A and B are shown apart, each in its own frame.
Chain A
Amino acid sequence: MSSEVMSSLKKDYIYNLMLKGKREDGRSFDEYRNITIQTHVIDKAEGSAKVCIGDTQVLVGVKLQVGAPFPDSPDEGVIITNLEMNPIASPDFEAGPPKEDAIEMARVTDRGIRESGAIDLNKLCITEGEEVWIVFIDVHILNDDGNLQDASALGAIAALMTAKIPAERAGKGEDMMMPIRDIPVGVTVVDIGGELMLDPGLAEETVADSKLTIASNQNGSISAMQKTGEGMLTSEQLLKAVDMACAKAEEIREKYLLSI
């Protein structure tokens, strides 16, 4: 993701700061950078949101199309999540088909939405077994300054919450809002030298031993998790990370999402 080459000096610097309980930009370990969410940024999209976490910028657009359901769920709509790490967003990104990082991030974002039951998929059924709404969630990374995963998840749910189903345009009855049942929030915890931190900046993300993304729901239960990176985590760390992530998810939901 970020540059493979990171001087060991920088690594030492971040590690030594961590030992003193500090971070590069003066945040506490469980503090996010400044979050802003703008919705309705793209008129052509059925739903859209631009999320900034610090200097990280992500734009998410939701488009809807009528299509065929999957055979094993004939009365449910379909969610398709795609994420593009555009070369515009970082000197480390290259054009071309999505690489494994992008695929993983898209799938983790997708799981957070899907597994939480955020969208009432039954309401997206038009004719059982024949026609359903297909929800395309397209995540466009605009600037990578770390923690793209949380920005993507946040953008996805924010864009969905503003999405309007264009039924009239498609000749399928009246327009309606996206049937949202839950508001999952993904929070990434990084392990740097055994210490857990939220919202890693680019440098922190690069030196982190491993990352754990946890998506949690309004009732505090967990709907998706993913460990990324080459390090290991102990059970104690995992349980602590879950507590940190769920608490922060609650905070973010209240502050930024419920008002949408």
Chain B
Amino acid sequence: MANKPEKFIDENGLRLDGRAVDEIRPMTIEIGVLSRADGSCYLEWGKNKILAAVYGPRELHPRRMQKPDEAIVRYRYNMAAFSVEDRARPGPSRRSIEISKVSRDAFAPIVMTKYYPSAVIDVFAEVLQADAGTRTAAINAASIALADAGIPMKGLISACAVGKVDGQLVLDLNKDEDNYGNADLPVAMTQDGEISLLQMDGNLTKEEFKKALEMATEGCRQILEIQKEALKKKFASREEVVESLIEVDDIKLEEIQDEIEIIEEDLEACDFEEEEGIEVIVVKTDVSEPADETSEEEFTEFTDNEDSEIDETEDSEEEKVGE
């Protein structure tokens, strides 16, 4: 292990790695790097190398762990044995169990689990190389992997840490700052700046804590931009997105068809006295066609015509309801 540096911040106010006190390390994000996973992300942040994957929503075993009204989220933070200077013992440690727990909680406010009752969404974060701030790096990667997997979320989670060296607050600690610093405050937040993970050890006064929280918020905002940029780069003009929209439309279509049947029954029971029309808007998408050509709407009217009936053609572009 390297010896403790004499000073962490030079006379120009720069840190040992040349960063300003409120500057994060360079971060690069690659999306969709694992073919078997439903979503994946490789993230480098300084010397940290993190691989995150999402599997699911999938069936949860054992069944007694299932929640009948929502999916559960599992999060596994794991360090590769070779990721640190002194070999880490493989398997879960008390540290990694704790990190997994708080990271899972960090995602709880944004993952919309109600859509997948009884299912599980598995998030795996593997630390391939560790260089301070692995839990925040893993959360940033996992956030992207969840988005890549198409899990409905209210937004992204971004995370970074603030620490204290030489009595001064610094954003995104590097290894030496982490080892010899006086405080470490990892924070994860939503894009609205609400905090979903907060841990701290070391020594901070109340005033320092306030300042640190402001710095962390700014750091998370910067990371959010990097995350968004990576997602845009990957998914802008991708047909995948279009295809997934068609799937959604198919589900809607079934619901609409059910509704039409109900309306039809109602109509049969009704005796219209005035020429009052009921508008029914039906959107039918044909899976074989690109989605943008299928968004035509058909407006038809029900009147008190006795011959009310439904024209339904299985593979037609639109469903006509009327008489």
Q: Which residues of A contact B (CB under 8 A)?
A: 72, 100-101, 103-104, 106-107, 111, 114-116, 210, 212, 217, 220-235, 238-239, 242-243, 246
**B185 nearest CB neighbor, chain A only:** A225
**A222 to B200, Cβ gap below 8 A?**
yes
Contact mask for chain B residues 180-194; partner A; CB cutoff 8 A; 1 contact, 0 none: 000001000110011
Q: For residue B129, which residues in chain A have a CB less than 8 angstroms away from its CB?
A: none
Q: How far is the CB of B121 from chain A (nearest CB, A)?
A: 14
For B209, give its contact among A72, A103, A242 (CB under 8 Å): A242
**B206 to A220, Cβ gap below 8 A?**
yes
Q: For residue A111, which residues in chain B have a CB less than 8 angstroms away from its CB?
A: 201
Q: For residue A239, which residues in chain B have a CB less than 8 angstroms away from its CB?
A: 206, 209-210, 213
**Taking A72-B1, A228-B102 as contacts, is the C-beta distance between A222 and B204 under 8 angstroms?**
yes
**A246 to B206, Cβ gap below 8 A?**
yes
**B101 nearest CB neighbor, chain A only:** A100
Write 9 A-B pairs (CB below 8 A) sorted by A numbering. Answer: A100-B97, A103-B101, A107-B95, A221-B204, A222-B206, A227-B199, A230-B105, A234-B194, A239-B206
| Interchain CA distance A231-B199 in the complex, whole Å | 14
| Interchain CA distance A144-B217 in the complex, whole Å | 36
| Interchain CA distance A103-B95 in the complex, whole Å | 8
Q: For residue A228, which residues in chain B have a CB less than 8 angstroms away from its CB?
A: 102, 105
Q: For residue A220, which residues in chain B have a CB less than 8 angstroms away from its CB?
A: 205-206
Q: How many residues of B contact A (CB 8 A)?
A: 33
| Interchain CA distance A217-B202 in the complex, whole Å | 11
| Interchain CA distance A111-B203 in the complex, whole Å | 11
Q: For residue A223, which residues in chain B have a CB less than 8 angstroms away from its CB?
A: 201-203
| Interchain CA distance A239-B216 in the complex, whole Å | 14
Interface of B is mostly: mixed
B196 on the A face (CB < 8 A): yes
**12 other contacts beyond A72-B1, A226-B200, A227-B105, with CB at 8 A cut-off?**
A103-B94, A103-B98, A221-B205, A222-B200, A222-B206, A226-B199, A229-B105, A230-B105, A232-B109, A234-B193, A234-B195, A239-B210
**Taking A222-B209, A226-B102 as contacts, is the C-beta distance between A232 and B97 under 8 angstroms?**
no
**B194 to A107, Cβ gap below 8 A?**
no
**B201 to A235, Cβ gap below 8 A?**
no
For B202, give its contact among A100, A115, A210, A230 (CB under 8 Å): A115
Among B108, B198, B205, chain A packs the most CB atoms within 10 A around the CB of B198
| Interchain CA distance A221-B209 in the complex, whole Å | 9
Q: For residue B193, which residues in chain A have a CB less than 8 angstroms away from its CB?
A: 234-235
| Interchain CA distance A230-B194 in the complex, whole Å | 12
For A232, give its contact among B101, B102, B190, B217 (CB under 8 Å): B190
**A112 nearest CB neighbor, chain B only:** B201
| Interchain CA distance A226-B189 in the complex, whole Å | 14
Q: How far is the CB of B183 from chain A (nearest CB, A)?
A: 8
| Interchain CA distance A225-B161 in the complex, whole Å | 13
B48 on the A face (CB < 8 A): no
Q: For residue B1, which residues in chain A have a CB less than 8 angstroms away from its CB?
A: 72
**B95 nearest CB neighbor, chain A only:** A107
Q: For residue B210, which residues in chain A have a CB less than 8 angstroms away from its CB?
A: 239
B78 on the A face (CB < 8 A): no
Q: For residue B214, which residues in chain A have a CB less than 8 angstroms away from its CB?
A: 235
Q: For residue B190, which residues in chain A have a CB less than 8 angstroms away from its CB?
A: 232
Q: How far is the CB of A108 from chain B (nearest CB, A)?
A: 9
| Interchain CA distance A101-B102 in the complex, whole Å | 10
Q: For residue B223, which residues in chain A have a CB less than 8 angstroms away from its CB?
A: none
**A232 to B196, Cβ gap below 8 A?**
yes
Contact mask for chain B residues 29-53; partner A; CB cutoff 8 A; 1 contact, 0 none: 0000000000000000000000000
B227 on the A face (CB < 8 A): no
Q: How far is the CB of B86 from chain A (nearest CB, A)?
A: 8
B142 on the A face (CB < 8 A): no
B120 on the A face (CB < 8 A): no
